[in-house]
Every structure is written in C-alpha cells, then in structure tokens.
Homo-oligomer: A and B are copies of this chain.
Amino acid sequence: METQLDLLTKECVSYTKNGNVADYIPELSKADPGMLGAYMIAEDGSEFFSGDYMQPFTIQSIVKTILLLQALIDNGVEAVSEKVGMEATGKPFDAINVTEQKLDSRHLNPMVNMGAILMCTLIAGNTYEERFSRVLELTRILSGNPTIDIERKVYLSEKTYGSKNRALAYLLKANGMLADDVEEVLDCYFQACSISVTCKDLANIGVVLANRGRRPGGDEFIVPEEYARYVNATLITCGMYDGSGEFALRVGVPAKSGVGGGIMAIAPARMGIGIFSPALDEKGNSVAGIQLLEKISRQFKLSIF
C-alpha cells in the first residue's frame, strides 16, 4: 500500500504548478508551492505516508471542524443548529451572507467564515483565551499529539490583515447575533486558524471522525458518535466551499480544506487522510491535494456514493 501511495503522490506533484500559494496574508505566501505530502491512517491502525508529509503548516479552515465539535460538546446538537444553520451556501469561504431580509442562523454554515466565527462564541470558557485553550486541547486529543501549538507569525499576520473577518464579525454583531467583543472573538478565531499541524495530525483527527468518535481499534468515544456524524455530514455539503459538489463527485468522502494547503479527508469506517500541498485553486482548495485524493479514493474505493 505504501508503494501505491508513493506512486500516486509522484503522479500528482506536477499539479502543484496549476495553483498558487495563498497571499491574502503575507505569512502564508512564503510556503513552497511545489510541496505535496499525504498521510493515511486506516481503521485497523495501519499507517501510510508519502512525499512532504513531515512539513508543518497552519490548519486554517480545517479547524472549523474542531470548533464545531467543541461547540457541539459544550451545547449539544439542538443548541448549535439553532445558532448556525447547516445548508450549503453555494458561496465562497469568506462569503458575506447578506440577504434582503434580516440575517439569521439559517444563512450561516459552520464551515463558512461567518458561521465559524459565531462558533467561537458557543464554546464554553470565561475568557476567549480560555475558549481557545480548549480548542487547542481538543485538537491535541483528537490528533493524539500533545505538542501541537500555534504558529505565532501566522497568527499575528492573520490579526493584522483580518479586515474581511472583522467585517463579518461586525455584521454578526449588527444583526444581534454576536454579543461579545469582536476583537476578543476574532483573537480566538485567528489563533485557532494558526494552529500548526502535519499531515499525520490531520490523518489522526480524520480517522477518529471516520470511526465515529473512536480512535482506531479503540472502544472509547473521544467525541460522541452523533457529533462525529454531524461534522461528517456538514463537510460533505460544505467542506470544500463552492467546490463541495464537484469534490463529492470526484472523491466522494467528507473533507475539509484550509488555505494553508491542508485537506483532512474522512472515509467513514475506513480511514482518515491528511494532505498538504499549498498551491491552491481559485476556490481556495489545494489543487494537487484534490488530485491525489481523487486517485486515492479510486484506488482504495473510498467513495461513499
């Protein structure tokens, strides 16, 4: 299996030329666009990796899955779904979900920025620093990697160049949906996006979600099954932004991308996959990453459809 993954990875490296590294914050633009790495962890615990799988990168939007999990843990399904809807928006990641009518929870999705920012306010904690600590801790637990931490330079860069997210947060506030201080909420969000991970970390988180809340071979639920399924279902309709429909056709598993170049894919009852390749397409998804996932899905028959 390792040989197959190596082969597929090599076949896909050339696709890195078809994308561009994110440049909306200066720090991200320093990534090496030619990199491609993958890490697979199956339900039986077997692991496979290839390419630049050891390269750390910031989790970015993939953390939206952790924010959603933590919010579910702290509030339950009903309370979370009342505050943030679950319909596909059919819009880009930083979509301004404005409507002619008053904005409400139905216009939000936890995998699109406005909804993810709101998710931060649903996480328990006396301060936003404490809320972030709990997000970081959950990330460490899910990945089984207690050394995970934020990449401070990226965090500061996000904070400095975060005008769009500030606009989104103030829109939430103007619509009476966000009571707390915008800068504090965003600080939690920016820190969460700046968590540094590797392909292995994403694969470890992914396999827990694939295994509906349990570690491979484990019986104990790290997160309740219902919440794992909630995340997986949300991802299939909205995890790859306005490329989610095409991804469902080509790859056929729940997945979440980040502008740092990562993709976390979840093949239910099969495996978790972490991908890294920072050259992005127009929608903000890793070009070579999607190519590689498509080949992996076909090779190992992962599509749930």
Contacts and interface: CB of A to CB of B under 8 A. Distances in A.
Interface of A: 81, 85-91, 96, 98-101, 109, 163-164, 166-168, 170-171, 173-174, 182, 229-230, 232-234, 236-238, 242-246, 248-249, 252, 254, 268, 303-305
Give the number of times this chain occurs in the complex, counting copies: 4
Contacts of A230: 249
B167 A245 contact: no
Q: Enumerate the 9 nearest inter-chain pairs by beta-carbon distance, A residue then B residue, closest first.
A: A88-B88, A167-B170, A90-B90, A232-B305, A164-B174, A163-B174, A86-B245, A87-B245, A163-B173
Contacts of A237: 88, 236-237, 244-245, 248
A32 B81 CA distance: 33
B87 A246 contact: yes
A86 to B, nearest CB: 4
Contacts of A101: 100-101
A230 B303 CA distance: 11
Contact of A171 (B91, B96, B232, B254): B96
B164 A170 contact: yes
